[in-house]
Chain A
Amino acid sequence: DQQVKQNSPSLSVQEGRISILNCDYTNSMFDYFLWYKKYPAEGPTFLISISSIKDKNEDGRFTVFLNKSAKHLSLHIVPSQPGDSAVYFCAAKIIQGAQKLVFGQGTRLTINP
């Protein structure tokens, strides 16, 4: 039972354009969401997060949007740069729960020069 889903295994975007990565979840108890970025042969690194009391959080070129009614979140990268090429995982958790993160399958983003 995949509670967090990233339905696009891969995405290819031109350098300078916007990259939009999507994530859907099924558990309405999730109240905190995170995006991690992973390069080959390295562990995932935290990118940005959002609490369910917000619908948007920005950090430089990265913005995460949360639509609670649709149980959908997205990560926008503007402008996309070659160094953004990586696998992106979204993750969700229940803040008062066991602190376990539930991860999506990942989306491989390729930025073309």
Chain B
Amino acid sequence: DVKVTQSSRYLVKRTGEKVFLECVQDMDHENMFWYRQDPGLGLRLIYFSYDVKMKEKGDIPEGYSVSREKKERFSLILESASTNQTSMYLCASRGLGAGETQYFGPGTRLLVL
């Protein structure tokens, strides 16, 4: 079974803080993704990575950056947290192959005060 873990389930931060969200997968997947989920908006892609040190912007990258130094780990960074970044953050990974699906972690619910 694919396992995707996220470092925190719940996080409370203050406006202006730098926030790190960590994601680790154990299936040697090349592709990794960060989404945020908001009511009425579904899942929106923030950033994704094809491979180590490779990254591409998704649909809503503003205010975020990412790091992929090792294949199994994909970090999402909020450079200066703002209240509109309060959300559920979901990490996913995917192997190669047209029929491969994305496997999701349990999510991190972030509250920015």
B106: interface (CB < 8 Å): yes
**What is the CB-to-nearest-CB distance from A9 to chain B, in angstroms, rounded to a whole number?**
7
Q: In this complex, what residue of B is CB-closest to A3?
A: B59
In the complex, A107 Cα to B103 Cα: how many Å?
20
Also in contact, A103 and B42, with CB within 8 A (given A43-B107, A98-B56):
yes
Also in contact, A43 and B42, with CB within 8 A (given A99-B31, A99-B94):
no
Are A105 and B42 closer than 8 Å at their CB atoms?
A: yes
List the A side residues contacting B104 at CB < 8 Å.
Answer: 36, 43-45
Q: Which of B11-19, B43-51, B61-69, B70-78 lies at the interface?
A: B43-51
List the A side residues contacting B92 at CB < 8 Å.
Answer: 43
Q: In this complex, what residue of A is CB-closest to B48?
A: A100
Q: Which residues of B contact A (CB under 8 A)?
A: 4, 9, 31, 33, 35, 40-45, 48, 56, 58, 90, 92, 94, 98-99, 101-107
